[in-house]
Structure 1
Amino acid sequence: MSASTQHLSRAGVSIWLDDLSRSRIESGELGALIESHDVVGVTTNPTIFAGAIAGGAGYAERIAACATRGLGVSDTIVELTTADVADACDVFAEVYADTGGRDGRVSIEVEPGLARDTAGTVAQARELWAKVDRPNAMIKIPATVEGLEAITETIAAGISVNVTLIFSLERYRQVINAYLTGLERARAAGVDVAGIHSVASFFVSRVDSEIDGRLNAIGTDEALALKGQSGVANARLAYEVFEQSFATERARLLLDLGANPQRPLWASTGVKDPALPDTLYVAELVAPGAVNTMPEATLRAFADHGEVRGDTVTSEYLESNQLLNAIAAQGIDYVEVTEKLELEGLQKFDASWDELYGTVERELRKAG
C-alpha cells in the first residue's frame, strides 16, 4: 500500500485511474490497484479504447464472436467497450457499495461524432447505460453547448453522468446548471434523485500547455515568470465555483431531498512539460470531495514520491485570480484559449475514434 495515495484519499480526494483494457481486468491488475494504490474508480475515452484494442490483448476472441454474429464495426465497438466497462464495474462493485455510490465508478463516453448532436447524445447515453447495465457506470458527455441539454435530459432520466472536456469557468457554471436542472426534472418525474451521481471533468494540463506556449512567444521575463501555473489556478477557481454553486438555495433544496453534489474531477493530470514536477496536478489540487483521474504514469509517480500538504485549493482563490489576471495583462485571451482547447479536444477524440474504427474494421475482416 502506498502511503502517499493513502494520505491523498484521507485528505478527501478520490483516486480514479484514467485507463482501462481487457488485459488490466483479466490479469487482476485493476483489482490490485484498489488495494495497492487506493484506486476507487476508472475513466475511459476513445483514445484509451483505441490504444487498448489496437494492442489486441484479450480482444481477438470477442471480435471473432462479433464477426460470427454479423455485427458491423460500430456495433462491435459498442460490444467491446461496454463489456470492458461492465466487467470493470464488477471489479469496483464493493467500492461502490462501501461508498454509497460516491465512488466505484467506471465511465464510458458517447461517440465523439455526437458532440454537437443533442438528441443523438441522449439516445446513445441511454443505449450505453442499458448495455453496460451496472448501477456504478457513468456516461461521459462532452460539455459542448449542444451537450448541455443532453446532460440535463440524461440526468433527468436517472442516468449518472461524467461531464467531460470542461476548460472554462463559465462553461463549468453552465454544466452545474444543466445538472441541477436535470435533477429538478428527475424529481418532478418521480425519479429517485439520491441514485443519480455526476462528476464534472475539468481539464488541467492542456491549459498550461496552451498558455505556456503563448507566454514563451511573448518571451519577456514577466511573461515567462507566469509559466506552469495557469492550469492549477484555473482548476482552483473551478473548485470555488463548485463551492459557491452547491451552497445556493436552489442546490440546497435538492441536496436536502437526497440529491448528490456534482463533484469536480481533475482530468488531464499527466504533466506534459518535463520542467514541471510530475505530481504537480495532484499535489496542488487537493480538496475535499474532489476526484483526480490519473494516467498510470502519474498514479505511480505520486504513489512513489507524492506529498500531501493538506488542502491546497481553498486558501488559494485570491492568488489564482491574480495569476489569471496577470496572464490576461500579457494579452492572452482566456475565452479564446478555452474555446480553442475544447475544439482541439473534440478533434483528438475524433481522430482516436477513427483509429479505433479502423482497427476494429481490420480485425473483423480478418475474423470473417
Structure 2
Amino acid sequence: MPQPPPESSEPLVPTLALAVYIACVGGTAAVTNCTLVGALLKAARNGVYSIVIQLAIADLFLIGASLTPELWSTNVKNWPFGYGACSAFRGFRVLASTASSYLIVAIALHTLATINMEEKAAIKRNKKNFQDEDDEIRTSRHSLVAKSDSSTPPRTMNVDYRLSDTHVPVAPPTIFVWVLAVSLSIPEFVLSTVIHVDRDHFQCTSVDTNHLINMHTLLAVFELILPIVIMSVTCTLIIIKLRNKKLFFEIWNRDSIAALKLSLWIIVTYGVLCVPRSVTSVYHVYSLSNNGNEREISPIDWIPKTYETAVISLISSGAAYLATTVRPILCFLFLPRPKIILCARNFEKNFRNV
C-alpha cells in the first residue's frame, strides 16, 4: 500500500480513530487525576502527597493545553486553532512537560530522603532498646542483693519511637520546579506564531530568530538530559533500597515503602512513554540545524518533511498522552491513603442513603 506524501491533506490516521483515542485516554486521565486531587487535597498538606497533587495538576495541563492539540494538529498536518491557542499550546507544552518530569524527580528524591531519615531513626531506636535491655539486666542483678523498698512503687515510662521526626521539607524543591518550568516556557509564549503554509494550511511554530538553536539546546538539557540523568541515579538507589530486605523490618511507616515503589514505577513509566517524545523533538531540531550551514532556521522548516517522521512524532505524542492516565492509576495502586479516603467517603455516602 503506497504511503501518502506529507504534503497530502489526508490525515496520518483516521480522524475518528484519533478522536476515540483522545476521548478514551484523555477522559480517563482527566477523571483519574481529578479524583486523585480530590482525594488528597484535604488530607495532604505536606510530604509526598502534596507533590503527587502537583503532578496530577501538571498532567491536567498536559492533557488539555498541550498533548490534545499536539496530537490533532500532527495528525491532520494543520493548525486549525488560531494564533492565541498556538501561543498557549507552545508555552504550556514546555511548562507542563518540565514540571511533570521534575516533579517525578522530586517524588523520588523526597522518598529517598524520608527513607534515609527513617533508617537512621530505626538505628537509634534499636540502639536505645539495646541499652534499655542492658539497664534492665543490671537492675535485675542488683535487686538480688539489694534490699527492696516496697513503699516506692516502680514507675514505667513508654516511649513511642515512631514519633521520631522524619519530616523532609517539600516547599523549596517544588517552588524551584515551578519557577524553572515557568522560566523555560516564557520564550515559547513570546516567540510562538502561526504561519500560512499554503491555502487553508497553517502551522504553529516558532518565529525565526538567531537564538533559536540556543534556546532549544537549553530546553534539551533541562527537559531531557538532566531529568534522565537524575532519574537514572535515583532509580538505581531505589532498586538498591528495595532489595534490602532489612528495610521492610526496620521501617515502621508503610507509606514510605509504598512511596518508594511508586517512585520506581513512575520513573519507569516516564522512561518508556515520555522520553521518546522528547528524543523525537530534539532529534528533529538538530537534524534541521545539521542540514544547513546557517544557525537560523526558517519556521517552515519545523514542519516534518517525511511521512515516517510525522508518524513517529504522532506515536511518541500518543505514548506521552497515555502516561497521563498511567501515573494516577499507579498512585491509586501503591499509595494507601487515596484508597482509604475514597472508601471512607463511599461508606459515608452509602450510610447517608440508608
TM-score interval (norm. to shorter): under 0.3
Answer with 1 or 2: which has the greater Rg. 2
Choose between structure 1 and 2: higher helix proportion: 2
Per the normalisation by structure 1, the TM-score is 0.25
Greater RCO (CA < 8 Å, at least 6 residues apart)? 2
Choose between structure 1 and 2: higher strand proportion: 1
Per the normalisation by structure 2, the TM-score is 0.26
